[in-house]
Each structure stands twice: as C-alpha cells, then as structure tokens.
Amino acid sequence: MIPWLLLNLDITGSLLLIINFLGLDAVTFEPSFDVPMVNVTVKQGTTAILPCSVKFLGQHQVVWTDQWSTLLTFEDRRIIDDERLSVERPYTTDWNLHIRTVRHNDQGIYNCQVNTSPVKIKTVNLKVQVPAEIINKLSSDDVTAREGDTVTLVCNVTGIPMPTVTWHRHKSLEKDDVEKERIGVSGEVLIIHNVSRYCGGTYECVAFNGVPPAVNRHINVAVEFPPEIRLPNKRISQALRKETILECIVTAFPQEITIWTREGVQITNSFKYRVEIYAEEDHMIILSLRIRDLDYRDFGDYTCKASNRLGQDEERMNLYEHLDPKRPTTTLTPTTTPSMSDVTTVSWKYTRTYPPEVDSNPGNTVISQPNTIPRPTQIQTDQIPTGTSGHTLASKNAGSCCQFFISFLVITNTLTFLYHMGVVVS
C-alpha cells in the first residue's frame, strides 16, 4: 500500500521519500538556489554576509567567485590569501560567504556557482556604505582676520553616499551653556564677506550621509579690531579720607596695552593706588583703579587708555569731592517771638533841639535853626518763614541793597534806646 499521506509533507522532502519508497532510482533533481539574485548593503568596517542556499546539491560542488572571476572559495575552503573571507554553513544547504571588516573596495558582484552543466549561478550585489569623514589636511584650521576682510572656511568631506555639510555658529549663553545657531547654507565652503568683530567665534561644520555617525569639525574665527573704551560713569564723587574705585571697560582684539594715567603720567601699583584687570566676555576686560585715603590732591581727571597694533582709544573720568547736602544750621531763639502782625512796617523820624547860641555881641541873641538828623529810609521786613527765630530785614538805600539777620529782641532794645534819647517816634 502506497503511503499517499506523505504528499502532504514538504514538497522536497516528500518527493525524496516517495522516490526512495517506490525505488524510483532513475529520477534525479538538479541543484537549485532559493533566489537567483540578491542585494546586500553593509557599512564599512562591519561583516558582510553573502547568502547562498542550494537544494538538491547531491554530488555537485559550490564555489565563490568575484566580479573578475577570481576563485575565492572551493566548497568550504578559502582559496585566496585573504583571511577576512570564509564560508559559513549554519545549515546543510547554506554556503554563505563572510567578508569581515569589509572595505569599500570589496563592493561589487559576487557569484555563488554550482558545477552543473551548464553552470548554475546565484548573483549577490554587495554595496558598501562609507560613513562621512572630514579630511583634516584639506579643511580649514583656526582663522584670524581683520575687520572688513573676507573669510573662507572649508570643510572637505568624503563618504558613500556623498555627505551633506551643514554649518552652525556657536552662541555663548549664561552659565557656560552654548547654543548652536544654524547658518542657512549647505556645502563644503562657507564664505563670510566683510567680516566684523560680531562675526567672530566658533563655527562648526557637520557632515552626514545617512550612515551613522555624523562627524563635525570646529573652526575658530578671531577678528582683530582696534580698542574701544566705555566708561560706566564719566563723573564720580567721594568724600575726603574715603576710598574709591574707577572702572573702564575695554573691548579689543588683541588686548595689548591698557593703563590709567593722571596728568599724562601712568599710574602703577603703590600704597595709594591699586590697578587690577578683570576678564569679562570675549575680548572684553575691566580695568579697575582703586584710590585709597582721598585728599584734595586726588580730585580731578583720570584717563583710561588702551592700544594695540590696529589703533588706540582713551576716555577721561572726573573724580570730585562729595559734599553732604545736609549742612548744619545755627539759629537764634528770641525770648519773645512777635506775631506777624507785630512786625509790619516801622517808620520814624526824630529831631533834636540844641540850646540857643549866644552871640558875642551883647543884646543880640540868635536862635539857630534846629539841626535835623536825617530820617532813615523805611525799613520793611521780608516774608518771615514759619518756625524760624531769626528773620531777614531788607534795608534799601539809593542804589544799594543789603541783607542782614537781626533778632526781634534787637528791634525792641533799639526802640527803647531811641525813646530815652528823646527821639520822637511816629
């Protein structure tokens, strides 16, 4: 009885079992490949596995050749002197070719052949991708230029496929953080026309072709420019016997000479003076001058000077004495403070009668005209501020004006004196 249920098994295995069971030795099968052609893409430096699976091989043999028909392997043995190649057989039907540490020049057509008549061939197309790489000797190093120059930055790259190069500029943030600003051009060459000090900094080119990893290169651009000085304060005050600090901000590249001068003489460190430099942002410093125990000779102008091979600049700062606006005042407090109505307008005139003069001639008595003391001009008080004990009286004579302080107590004593002198007050 023929076991027809064996037909439900795998076609290849089933046919072999049926043939053996029936004793049909005259029927044979030709070797065959799973697929006639396959593409394999790998990254350079990895292991490339070129698959080749043969069914019904029988007594036939398998060899591998390259695109120039060079014999690479015979069955599972390596023929050429390249230790990177080997035949691996995870299964009995597999004759896979392994190429370790594959290189770009390994790329091409490989053939898995079975020595049938005619020869049966399975073609494997190997593609090797090369990650992006920057050629350092053909790329720009750090660049130094002057304002107004044209700067050309080159980032020469290679890779398969050809990488795309993008440019970024680093922007410094707070706390040593850096932000990359994308520059809106792509390509291996970046040209900066009419460069200024604000174009300086670190530029980064990034090359990537889809094959990890991406590579980058940093190029520092330094722009030289003459010094510029800025004063936080052009005038500063301080009291005698105190200490003060003068500061000027110098922006330049390169930073070469920065000094403080007084009357054309450079100020150096001493007991009196202390000159210090503090680095701030890129190309910026603060030049500080500390002056101790101020006296009158220290007040005046101080000059901050800076120079480099491109130019120079200077700014002048004035140091003056600080005076307390709240001065102490001295007031006179009268015993009796009259009201405003008591101090209005006071006018008086006074005359004095002298004894008659007797002429030397007897019987003739001559009465002289009375000598009249000139009447003083009218004295009128200014408006008296509330709460003050001393007041200002204005005495106005012809063409003259004087001001003096007088107490109401003095006015009272003056009137009493005039009364006893016989002056008539009206």
Q: List CB contacts of 341: < 8 A, sequence separation 6 or more.
A: none
Residue 407 vs residues 14, 331, 342, 414, 415: alpha-carbon distances, Å: 141, 10, 14, 11, 13
What is the number of other CB atoms lying within 10 angstroms of the CB of residue 220?
A: 14
Residue 420 vs residues 415, 416, 424, 425: alpha-carbon distances, Å: 9, 6, 10, 11
Instruction: Check if the beta carbon of residue 54 is closer than 8 Å to that of residue 62.
Output: yes
pLDDT of residue 307: 97
Which of 255, 253, 325, 259 is closest to 289 using CA atoms?
259
What are phi and psi for residue 395, nearest 5 degrees? -110, 120
Q: What is the pLDDT along the chain (426 residues), one digit of tens a residue?
A: 333 333 333 444 444 444 444 444 445 789 999 999 999 999 999 999 999 999 999 999 999 999 999 999 999 999 999 999 999 999 999 999 999 999 999 999 999 999 999 999 999 999 999 999 999 999 999 999 999 999 999 999 999 999 999 999 998 766 667 889 999 789 999 999 999 999 999 999 999 999 999 999 999 999 999 999 999 999 999 999 999 999 999 999 999 999 999 999 999 999 999 999 999 888 999 999 999 999 999 999 999 999 999 999 999 999 999 987 765 544 444 544 444 444 444 444 444 444 444 444 443 333 333 333 343 433 333 333 434 333 333 333 333 333 333 333 444 454 544 444 554 444
Instruction: Check if the beta carbon of residue 98 is closer than 8 Å to that of residue 90.
Output: no
pLDDT of residue 390: 37
What is the Cα–Cα distance from 393 to 117, expressed in whole angstroms?
142
pLDDT of residue 185: 82
pLDDT of residue 325: 74
β-bridge partners, 328: none
Burial class (CB in 10 A: 0-12, 13-18, 19+), 277: exposed
What is the number of other CB atoms lying within 10 angstroms of the CB of residue 251?
A: 20
> Is the bond into 213 cis (omega within 30 degrees of 0)?
yes
What is the Cα–Cα distance from 426 to 422, expressed in whole angstroms?
13
pTM of the prediction? 0.61
Q: List CB contacts of 113: < 8 A, sequence separation 6 or more.
A: 62, 63, 64, 65, 119, 120, 121, 122
pLDDT of residue 54: 96
What is the Cα–Cα distance from 154 to 393, expressed in whole angstroms?
89
